[in-house]
């Protein structure tokens, strides 16, 4: 090699484009005093570097900052198809928030080694993902756990309008009690694959259901047996004030004797179309 230093070449009429077409390899330039910041300010475009032996991994170890790359013609899509691996980007100063505002689409990230769990630990907010092509069905199949979603800004009402099925939620760590405190209305749950029998086995207490939009008439048509209701905090008085009609109660395992010991007064029962005089007569119970 001549004593002709690269820094001397940089200040000469020997332009960078000429160097690019020469036997002067980029790798040689990388090992020289030809600093990357100088290259950054030159006509030697980043796209040219991308097609060269100037590997991105070499750039990673250099003063060639990712923020500089972000402002360059070196598009993020080009980076995605390059040896510049996404996990390398993850460990760099290339912040996810910067990527979020870039042409680096979320769909591209979805097909990359950029795992969802990695995204979960970064400034990549769930609300940002919600506005992206990153579908909820993709999230459902990922390491992005439902419990993580529960702690996020992803409202349940938004999840309800997506491919995130209720049956998937039923099998997840997203507890029913959490759903009870959310905008996920009970009436919506009633129309979903979230069966009443599943609710029976859950943390969804009957008392909570009593204060909800889950109408008693819906419960009457469900696998929620009346005997279960009898053993629950669902008081007879509450049932009396509800849409649970007396005729429905008359056909249920909720015995009249149980009703007799409740705040369900006989005068109220007497107004019922289904309770016979025999059952209203205390002597006929013996």
Domain-located, residue 90: no
Mean pLDDT for 229-257 is 42
Domain-located, residue 60: yes
What is the model's pLDDT at position 248?
43
SS3 270: helix
SS3 144: coil
Domain-located, residue 207: no
Q: In angstroms, what CA-CA distances link 279 with 41, 42, 226, 235, 246?
A: 96, 98, 19, 21, 14
Domain encompassing residue 260: 235-286
pLDDT tens, residue by residue, 22-75: 444 444 444 443 444 444 444 444 444 444 434 444 444 343 444 444 434 344
* pLDDT tier, 277 (very low <50, low <70, confident <90, very high otherwise): very low
* CA gap 154, 140 in Å, rounded: 13
* Residue where one domain finishes, among candidates 34, 64, 94: 64
Spacing of C-alpha 173 from chain mean position: 13
Domain-located, residue 229: no
pLDDT tens, residue by residue, 146-196: 444 433 444 444 444 333 344 444 434 344 444 433 434 444 444 343 444
Using an 8 Å Cβ cutoff, are 48 and 39 in contact?
Answer: no
Residues 6+ apart with CB under 8 A from 268: 240
Let me know how long the chain is. Answer: 286
Q: How high is the mean pLDDT of the chain?
A: 41
Domain count, the chain: 2
Closest C-alpha among 44, 31, 21 to residue 1: 31
* Residue where one domain finishes, among candidates 42, 64, 86: 64
């Amino acid at each position: 090699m001549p004593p002709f230093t690269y820094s001397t070449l940089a200040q000469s009429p020997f332009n960078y484009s000429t160097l690019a077409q020469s036997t002067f390899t980029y790798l040689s330039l990388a090992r020289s005093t030809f600093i990357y910041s100088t290259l950054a300010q030159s006509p030697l475009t980043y796209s040219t570097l991308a097609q060269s032996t100037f590997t991105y991994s070499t750039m990673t170890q250099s003063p060639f900052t990712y923020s500089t790359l972000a402002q360059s013609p070196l598009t993020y899509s080009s980076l995605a198809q390059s040896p510049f691996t996404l996990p390398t980007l993850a460990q760099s100063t290339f912040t996810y928030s910067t990527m979020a505002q870039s042409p680096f689409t979320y769909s591209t990230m979805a097909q990359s080694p950029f795992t969802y769990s990695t995204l979960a630990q970064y400034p990549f907010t769930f609300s940002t993902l919600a506005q992206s092509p990153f579908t909820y069905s993709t999230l459902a199949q990922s390491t992005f756990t439902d419990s993580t979603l529960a702690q996020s800004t992803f409202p349940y009402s938004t999840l309800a309008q997506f491919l995130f099925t209720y049956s998937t939620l039923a099998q997840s760590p997203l507890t029913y009690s959490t759903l009870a405190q959310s905008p996920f209305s009970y009436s919506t749950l009633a129309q979903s694959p979230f069966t009443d029998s599943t609710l029976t086995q859950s943390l969804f207490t009957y008392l909570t259901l009593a204060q909800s939009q889950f109408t008693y008439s819906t419960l009457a048509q469900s696998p929620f047996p009346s005997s279960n209701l009898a053993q629950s905090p669902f008081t007879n008085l509450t049932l009396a004030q509800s849409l649970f009609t007396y005729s429905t109660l008359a056909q249920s395992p909720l015995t009249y004797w149980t009703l007799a010991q409740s705040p369900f007064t006989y005068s109220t029962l007497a107004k019922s179309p289904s309770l016979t005089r025999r059952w209203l007569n205390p002597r006929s119970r013996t």
